[in-house]
Structure 1
Amino acid sequence: MAKWGEGDPRWIVEERADATNVNNWHWTERDATNWSSEKLKSLLVGLTVGGPEGSCEVTEVSKLEGEASINNRKGKLIFFYEWNLKASWTGTSQTGVKFKGTFDVPNLSDENDMDDLDISVSLDKDEPDTPLKGLMRTAGAQKIRQALDHYVDALKTEFTQGMILPTANGVAPPPTGPQSRAQLNRTQISSPSGTSAPPSSGVRIPTCKFSLRETFQASPAELYRVFTSQEMLQAFTQAPAAVEAEKGGRFRLLGGNILGEFTEMVPDDKLVMKWRYNNWPCEHYATVTLSFLDRSSETELRVEARGVPDGEEERTQDGWRRFYFAAIKQTFGYGARLF
Structure 2
Amino acid sequence: MVVNNPNNWHWVDKNCLTWSKEYFEENLLGLDAQDETSNVHIVDVSSVEGDVDVSQRKGKVISLFDLKIVLSFHGYNEKDDDISGSITIPELAYDSEESDLVFEISVYNESSENTGITTLIKQKLVPQLKSKLLKFGPDLIETNVRDIQIEKDKVTSTYTKGNLSQAPAPAQQPQQKKEAPKPVAKPTTTVPKKEESKTSGTSKIPKYNTTTLHLEPSFNTSAEQIYITLLDESRIAAWTRSYPIIEKFPPKEGSTFKFFGGAVQGKFLKLVRNEQIVELWRLQDWKEGHYAELDMKLVQSSGETKLVVKFSGIPIGEEERVKDNFEDMYIRSIKITFGFGAVL
| TM-score, normalised via structure 1 length | 0.44
| TM-score, normalised via structure 2 length | 0.43
Q: Which has the higher contact order (CA 8 A, sep 6+)?
A: 2
